[in-house]
Chains A and B, each alone.
Chain A
Amino acid sequence: GESVGLHLPTLSVQEGDNSIINCAYSNSASDYFIWYKQESGKGPQFIIDIRSNMDKRQGQRVTVLLNKTVKHLSLQIAATQPGDSAVYFCAENMGEYGNKLVFGAGTILRVKS
């Protein structure tokens, strides 16, 4: 199951499948991007980041892809688990001087057991 941009705010996947969450960012000058996971009643939790001089970065079970040509960011989660259920936000640093992190609208990920 793949969400396309932010027009599909909810992504439902079967436990064990891979998840892909997409994000379109707005500023071609943004140089730093972060994915956050936010569980109900909690603050955003850092997942992975990527700088604009890279197009791919891998973490534990997660991969972020950056396509600057079309201003697109994606988060891939391998072997999705019930604990991955949350809202996922991409954020771009739009500050010319300093951190001005602007969040996308978010995607709800629901993992079915």
Chain B
Amino acid sequence: DTEVTQTPKHLVMGMTNKKSLKCEQHMGHRAMYWYKQKAKKPPELMFVYSYEKLSINESVPSRFSPECPNSSLLNLHLHALQPEDSALYLCASSQGDSGNTIYFGEGSWLTVV
């Protein structure tokens, strides 16, 4: 079982809603990630946090807003999403910056209606 915990497992939201995805790890990792995965496609990197600071933003639309309240928690705030944003959102963590194994959670399935 993964030690990266994501909630909720499933989320259905309307295009005018505001919701959040949450991620937690207790492995003492200092880097955390958000990936997006569409059906039958590989995961695509969205954001990287290193030591609680945003280090990589892969030109993600502003309707996705990440937040790292502390080294164990990572949130993804969602607002005014489009149906094409429906996907599996994966959180991951690693011990440090470079060359460390990245461990994934089971993901949050998001459907935008």
What 0/1 readout, one digit per residue, does chain B (39-76) give for beta carbons within 8 Å of chain A? 00111110010100001100000000000000000000
The complex places the Cα of A32 from the Cα of B94 at a distance, in Å, of 13
Q: B74: shortest Cβ distance to chain A, in Å?
A: 14
B42 and A46 contacting across the interface, CB-CB below 8 Å: no
Does A82 sit at the interface, judged by CB under 8 A? no
The complex places the Cα of A98 from the Cα of B45 at a distance, in Å, of 13
Residues in B neighbouring A103, C-beta threshold 8 A? 42-44
The number of residues on chain B lying at the interface, defined by a beta carbon within 8 Å of a beta carbon of chain A, is: 26
The complex places the Cα of A81 from the Cα of B42 at a distance, in Å, of 24
Which residues of chain B (2-47) have a CB below 8 Å from chain A? Answer: 2, 4, 31, 33, 41-45
Residues in A neighbouring B44, C-beta threshold 8 A? 103
Does A64 sit at the interface, judged by CB under 8 A? no
A43 and B31 contacting across the interface, CB-CB below 8 Å: no
Closest 5 pairs between A and B when the two form their complex, measured CB to CB = A103-B42, A43-B104, A98-B97, A32-B99, A43-B106
Across the interface, A43 reaches (CB within 8 A) one of B41, B94, B99, B107, namely B107
B104 and A99 contacting across the interface, CB-CB below 8 Å: no
Q: B31: shortest Cβ distance to chain A, in Å?
A: 6
Residues in B neighbouring A104, C-beta threshold 8 A? 42
Residues in A neighbouring B81, C-beta threshold 8 A? none
Q: B88: shortest Cβ distance to chain A, in Å?
A: 8
Residues in A neighbouring B94, C-beta threshold 8 A? 99
Across the interface, A98 reaches (CB within 8 A) one of B43, B90, B98, namely B98
